[in-house]
Structure 1
């Protein structure tokens, strides 16, 4: 996601975070009703109202929701990129109904505690799947997304976006998809990526930060910032399902990346070439444990392969794996620092009849 130059302060470089583009309008407020009427009158505006069906589904839940939830004013959501107005239940009723099927894998009280979590995701290729899975389970109250890159057609083998999203910043693509899933979830985007001037804004107050960026410089810089603030770092590497947990919240002097690079820090990488960085990246992943097809592909990168291969199913698994760890934090049962491999190829090859 982030190249080294995006981590260094540059003259006149500006950092700006953005809250999601959609707008929430309260059907009980006259000023908002007037805005809805103005928007509805715009040429081509699409109006979607299935709120009565939503209310009937909400009323049918067990146990029956409180009067406070049932009587909550409904909202109109304006999605400018869809040129649409959608009428939905208010935030309490919406969350109650949307997440009802989570029970009791996640209880109501546990689900409510999840709203206190603030989670950051750096790198929105694999990170898109991670952020969306966290959102779909309702595992946090705020998501912060950082990536300077735009969506390329070559990303669509693994990023669950569409051709309508091409050439749009990856954080915007992810934020829009999440807003269409849950417009009430706070999503803050950093489309400039994680640069020096945005580091404090992005990191401060986070409970968990998830590293899905490509650059070794960025990985170290991110961890230095997380360690200084006592924020745990999660990382999923799609080949072989490598899942890393670094509990800087419990271990303020823990070596970065489990100490696999010794005492190396981000500044140490400033004057070395990409060729010199390659073996360092290999030390992190442990080439002896990469999948056979990835090992066979490595010599071909830059020769017959444009870059290292990734599969959509591996990325989807990564989203599920990281979300499971975030859920464990929310449930109060977080894992310790360490690494586990969730390699589906290994598990599938071990299938036996019974």
Structure 2
């Protein structure tokens, strides 16, 4: 049988340098530009390729449109860095290889020969089946017809040369996935028609910022799963601690990992084509403007009064909507600074208080300000009873996994509506299960 390590590495031997050699065929020149669009067009009857490869996001897969490169992206990091000693446990970006290209094929071969790939996951045939089914869900095919349809999608390439190979350095896994647009179409196919393909394309073109990655981790991951946002900025100065595992989905092997790094890794494992930036030292007066500027929506989930206020000051000035879940009674704040740039921060709960006013607050003053923000008269009895014990018998604000996951769902649902231009008003809203279901705390 061999050792566990040998068994883990054994699948790598089937991916040879010959298998990943760049594909060439007459009339198609290799290109080093992974962002270049295909020029294929329909010439009458619509083949599988016409329906899928050139018409990703229209509503019924029927109207040929400008093609999208089947590579879509290049490697995030140069292979020299991938193979260097600097590539340590803090790495958070995957590396993408399109082996239809000379340089990427050579780089992937070097990676495989380095021994750093612990396991290879190649389910591209299953993904091709799902892709074809998504384009023509009602069609019944024989085995021969399935093979012919897949061959059309491959356009003469081998299955190994289709799409991208994604290496996740933190786990040592090498995963074969469809090209970006095909991958996203299949991955979000079960959203239809709660989210139309046209709306999904809009959502994947939006950029979301998330400040605070305990509760914010749930919001970020739920957004990624639903395809709400294709670019993200993450900010948190903290590392994962054991006490975070009561509400943050992670494993004990990840203790000590920076929360920004942890969240980015989890997001990339859902969609390797995301565009993610991280602020691993958190945000300061010098860095917050660069974080907020250019966002389509801001999710604020931090515990620091200065940052809560400063983030909103910048968002209001730039006309960016802000969402916040507070993990108590299902409270969701919506502040549409994009529609009302003069709107008072936190619905006027803090008056004219500015971020500069709260610098250096002691613990009692900080707690008092936080209670003003959430409205102490409306918090749950359980949280109300815990306030006086913070710093005495309680280390911090009590938060539950159920509330965290509910918050991620509320933020994602609301973010989707805001980003699609739906009529979402500013305000404070409660999804309080105690009241909705009649339970007693």
Separation (CA, whole Å) in 2 of partners of 1:128 and 1:310: 14
Residue of structure 2 in register with 1:249 after alignment:
338
- Compute the displacement of 1:70 (Å): 3.6
Per the alignment, do residues 331 and 243 of structure 1 end up closer, same or farther by CA in structure 2, a change over 3 Å counting? same
Pick the structure with greater CA Rg: 2
SS of match in other structure, 1:335: coil
- Compute the displacement of 1:195 (Å): 1.7
Q: Higher relative CO (CA 8 A, sep ≥ 6), structure 1 or 2?
A: 1
Separation (CA, whole Å) in 1 of partners of 2:289 and 2:354: 19
Q: How does 1:308-319 map to 2 (within 5 A)?
A: 308-319=397-408
Q: Structure 1, residues 66-109: CA drift from partner, whole Å, max 9, x if none?
A: 99x94483100010001121111110111011100000000010
* 1:29 aligned onto 2:101: yes
- Compute the displacement of 1:234 (Å): 0.7
Separation (CA, whole Å) in 2 of partners of 1:280 and 1:203: 23
Q: Could you tell me whether the CA contact under 8 Å between 1:40 and 1:85 is conserved in 2?
A: no
Residue of structure 1 in register with 2:126 after alignment:
53
Residue of structure 2 in register with 1:196 after alignment:
285
Separation (CA, whole Å) in 2 of partners of 1:36 and 1:198: 36
Q: Could you tell me whether the CA contact under 8 Å between 2:349 and 2:375 is conserved in 1?
A: no
* 1:91 aligned onto 2:180: yes
SS of match in other structure, 2:134: coil
Match of 2:251 among 147, 162, 170: 162
- Compute the displacement of 1:300 (Å): 1.7
Match of 1:118 among 199, 202, 207: 207
Residue of structure 1 in register with 2:86 after alignment:
none
Residue of structure 2 in register with 1:9 after alignment:
none
* 1:335 aligned onto 2:424: yes
Give unpaired runs (5+ residues) of structure 2.
1-89, 140-148, 156-161
Residue of structure 2 in register with 1:10 after alignment:
none
Residue of structure 2 in register with 1:40 after alignment:
112
Separation (CA, whole Å) in 2 of partners of 1:52 and 1:305: 53
RMSD, matched Cα: 2.1
Separation (CA, whole Å) in 1 of partners of 2:229 and 2:423: 15
Q: Could you tell me whether the CA contact under 8 Å between 1:171 and 1:190 is conserved in 2?
A: yes
TM-score of the superposition, structure 2-length normalised? Answer: 0.72
Q: How does 1:129-148 map to 2 (within 5 A)?
A: 129-148=218-237
Give unpaired runs (5+ residues) of structure 1.
1-17
Separation (CA, whole Å) in 2 of partners of 1:140 and 1:29: 29
TM-score of the superposition, structure 1-length normalised? Answer: 0.89
Residue of structure 1 in register with 2:66 after alignment:
none
Residue of structure 1 in register with 2:191 after alignment:
102
Residue of structure 2 in register with 1:237 after alignment:
326
